[in-house]
Structure 1
Amino acid sequence: MKKIDLGLKAGTDPKQITDRLQYAPEVFEFYTAETDFTKDGLKRLAEAIEQVKDAGISQIILHHPMRYHGDFTELLTLEQKMPELYRFIEQSTLDLLQLAYDKELQVLVHGSYSRQTALFLAQFDSLEKATAYSFKRLDHFHELGKEHIMFENSISPIFYYGESALDEQILAHDYRLAFDTSHCFIKWQGSEPKLLEALTRLRSKIVHYHLVDSLGEVHDSLELGKGKIDWNAVLPLLNEQATNIFEIVLQDQTDAKEQVASYEYLKQIEQNSKL
């Protein structure tokens, strides 16, 4: 059974970093934003990474920014339609990968987002063509990042987990995968069997988990134990070699108590399973 990591998430705000480091996490995920990709922003990010490494944390993930000028950084973006957004996605990923190669880190990129997907899908003649283009972009970044990049599942019609044919297609591309439990659960409207099937089918290629609870209806990012996911069933299916964080919505971004409570909840289940 996988040993559960105390994995915490923060931005580059010094108050957030100080808060997370007090718990001595084993895994630290930086949630980057558009402002981190100016010259000064990249310098601050590099300094924040060194601060976390100096605290003895070697397992660090850099989460690609979600938005640029209000638009989601959707890999479906066509250069000829939205050139500025396309260039930002490209350059910001390259910037993160440079840090990853230099400092032995990992970069996480979303295969898709759900909130603006319809806008991007409208630029393609069919879902099949959009999916093919999505894989083309994923292949591009996979080749650039190699062992330093992973791709996270969405709840959109693009790059989601739990449908056997798409899962097998993803496996055929040999991507390193990040698995968000809530995204898969929500995609299948709270279907526990679908979540467990996806965890099992993709397990060998999963290198990182976002352990998040949900009611299975909308994107709610709940503390573990406050949603409908059966963590007793999930825990034995996790890849023992993968890292994890608890990507929970916080009441206060400078206080990770909901993330820590989720860790403690899952550790209790882990302990009970050994009795």
Structure 2
Amino acid sequence: MFPYLGLKASTNQKQIDERLQYRPQVFEFFTTSDDVTPQGLDHLKQMIGYVQKSGVERVVMHHPMKFNGQHNEVSVNPDTDPEQYQFMMNSSKALIKVAQQSGTQLLIHGGYNQPVSEILGKFGSISAGRKIVLERLDYFKSLGGSNVMFENSISPLFDFGDRLVESEVLKHHYRLCYDTSHGFIVLHGDNQKLQKSMAHLRDQIVHYHFVDSMGQFHDSLTLGQGAIDWQPLKPMVNRKATNIFEINLKDQFDCREMLESYEYLKKVWNL
């Protein structure tokens, strides 16, 4: 029943086992560049099978956040950063194939947190950079179909809360992941605008990252410790979607902050 107990871990089996003891209904793998090498992909497939055999039917892979210390931006320029571009494209295609073979989902970030000055320097305008992002997401959508989804960023290249971006997203019929903290930060901590944004995109959202924030920067707080007003969000969510609790952990081998967030949300939503 939504919201699910959704937990996240790396491909480290010790982390996975720590999560599985709580019998999550949704499991999300946080992958790195090491997980998309030939050896890494073999291990990832084994761990996906391991999680599925434990009884978890809903599995998501989070595309690697970084390559060579830089964010793995969909908007990367193939002329100025050819190695970064090849990694972004090849890793996306490889993981889409894994998702299709294993009956899982791949989550790709539409962007991370590129500052406006950097975007303008690279593309000349935000709209030009956004056009590149949408073209590449269209390509991944054509490859991945119902096995791929796209997550909102803090960067203006793919930030939910911006009505222009949301209108484009709806036109492209993307399957979406909505990260509540990213939306809240983009909207400068405005709860009413967050509610409107989540309601506006609700029908295309297939997965949520429930995470609290003070709305100023990427802080990834346990639910109830930030400034998000959770109670009014209950009617704004798509109850057909899945979810995880993407919280910063004090100890990567102890997911208590995720569990506390799940219990908090159930209490606030009277579930």
With structure 2 as the length reference, what TM-score do the two structures score?
A: 0.97
Cα root mean square deviation, aligned: 1.3
The 2-side partners of 1:162 and 1:139 are apart by 21
Q: Which residue number corresponds to residue 3 of structure 1? A: 2
Question: What letter is aligned with 1:172?
Answer: K
The 2-side partners of 1:72 and 1:27 are apart by 26
Instruction: Indicate the larger mover: 137-146 or 108-117.
Output: 108-117
* Aligned pairs, number: 271
Asked if the contact 2:247–2:257 (Cα under 8 Å) also holds between the matched residues in 1, the reply is yes
> CA offset at residue 212 of structure 1?
0.4
The 2-side partners of 1:8 and 1:265 are apart by 15
Q: Which residue number corresponds to residue 33 of structure 2? A: 34
Q: Runs of 5+ in structure 2 lacking a partner?
A: none
Superposition pairs of residues 187-198 of structure 1, within 5 angstroms? 187-198=186-197
The 2-side partners of 1:92 and 1:138 are apart by 14
Question: What letter is aligned with 2:179?
Answer: D
The 1-side partners of 2:64 and 2:269 are apart by 33
The 2-side partners of 1:51 and 1:270 are apart by 32
The 2-side partners of 1:157 and 1:51 are apart by 38
With structure 1 as the length reference, what TM-score do the two structures score?
A: 0.96
Asked if the contact 1:111–1:151 (Cα under 8 Å) also holds between the matched residues in 2, the reply is yes
Q: Which residue number corresponds to residue 254 of structure 1? A: 253
The 2-side partners of 1:119 and 1:163 are apart by 19
The 1-side partners of 2:233 and 2:64 are apart by 28
> CA offset at residue 165 of structure 1?
2.5
Deviations 1:227-266 (A, max 9, x none): 0111101122110100000000000001000001000111
- Give the SS at the match of 1:178: strand
- Give the SS at the match of 2:56: coil
Give aligned-pair identity as a percent.
Answer: 44
Asked if the contact 1:72–1:116 (Cα under 8 Å) also holds between the matched residues in 2, the reply is no
1:51 aligns with 2:50: yes
Go from structure 1 to structure 2 and tell me whether the alpha carbon gap of 1:17 and 1:118 turns closer, same or farther (over 3 Å shift): farther
Question: What letter is aligned with 2:226?
Answer: G
Superposition pairs of residues 1-275 of structure 1, within 5 angstroms? 3-115=2-114, 118-271=117-270
> CA offset at residue 182 of structure 1?
0.4
Asked if the contact 1:214–1:220 (Cα under 8 Å) also holds between the matched residues in 2, the reply is yes
Question: What letter is aligned with 1:48?
Answer: M
- Give the SS at the match of 2:265: helix
> CA offset at residue 117 of structure 1?
6.6
The 2-side partners of 1:175 and 1:121 are apart by 26
The 2-side partners of 1:234 and 1:83 are apart by 42
Asked if the contact 2:130–2:157 (Cα under 8 Å) also holds between the matched residues in 1, the reply is yes
Asked if the contact 2:2–2:242 (Cα under 8 Å) also holds between the matched residues in 1, the reply is no
Asked if the contact 1:77–1:120 (Cα under 8 Å) also holds between the matched residues in 2, the reply is no
Asked if the contact 1:150–1:178 (Cα under 8 Å) also holds between the matched residues in 2, the reply is yes
The 1-side partners of 2:208 and 2:196 are apart by 16
> CA offset at residue 52 of structure 1?
0.2
Deviations 1:197-240 (A, max 9, x none): 11110000000000000011110000000001111011221101
Q: Runs of 5+ in structure 1 lacking a partner?
A: none
Go from structure 1 to structure 2 and tell me whether the alpha carbon gap of 1:253 and 1:153 turns closer, same or farther (over 3 Å shift): same
Asked if the contact 1:76–1:121 (Cα under 8 Å) also holds between the matched residues in 2, the reply is no
The 2-side partners of 1:74 and 1:10 are apart by 22
Go from structure 1 to structure 2 and tell me whether the alpha carbon gap of 1:147 and 1:18 turns closer, same or farther (over 3 Å shift): same
Asked if the contact 1:246–1:262 (Cα under 8 Å) also holds between the matched residues in 2, the reply is yes
Question: What letter is aligned with 1:228?
Answer: A
The 2-side partners of 1:80 and 1:117 are apart by 21
